[in-house]
Structure 1
Amino acid sequence: MAVWFVFVVPLVIMLFALFMERVETRLRHVAVQEDEVEQLLEDVRPDEVRALYGHGIGRALELFRLRRKGGRAARMRAQRVRQ
């Protein structure tokens, strides 16, 4: 009986490690990046502060990303008009 434990326990640990690696890979893409938080805190607007206080960092970063994308789109439109 002890021989089975010698073979089964390392196999179970290895399978668990592979499973956790997959979970970690998926979470890495969803997780908040440190530089985004720093940018948010350096250039925060009142609506983002309210979202941070009321709904957490996820909603505040969502608003921040939308503002940044909107800013880029507006700059691109302005450049097209100038050309």
Structure 2
Amino acid sequence: MHGLAVLLFPAALMLFALAMERLESRLERLNVRGEHVEEFLESAQPEQLDTLATHGFPAALDEFRDRRSPANSETGDSIRVTQ
């Protein structure tokens, strides 16, 4: 029984490490700094606040950035981010 544990423990440890690495990469992608939150809350429109409530901060921040980008400011378009 101990021999089986000796063989399975390294494999289980490797799988756990790979799962934690995937989780870390997802969290890193969703990382938002405090300056972004302050800027968003100061000048967000109701549409972005609706997106914040329904889809979370990363999607709302993407919509906010799309609205403020030069390409969209000329046409006045607002792109809605859905997940």
Report the TM range for the smaller structure's normalisation: 0.5 to 0.7
**What count of residue pairs does the alignment treat as equivalent?**
73
Which structure has the greater CA radius of gyration? Answer: 1
Find the counterpart in structure 2 of residue 2 from structure 1: 2
In structure 1, stretches of 5+ residues that fail to align are: 75-83
Pairs within 5 Å for 1:34-73: 34-35=33-34, 36-70=36-70
Q: In the aligned structure 2, how far is the partner of 1:53 from the partner of 1:5? A: 47
Instruction: Output the TM-score relative to the length of structure 1.
Output: 0.57
Greater per-residue helix proportion = 1
Instruction: Output the TM-score relative to the length of structure 2.
Output: 0.57
CA gap of 1:71–1:45, structure 2 versus 1, over 3 A, is: farther
In structure 2, stretches of 5+ residues that fail to align are: 75-83
Find the counterpart in structure 1 of residue 32 from structure 2: 33
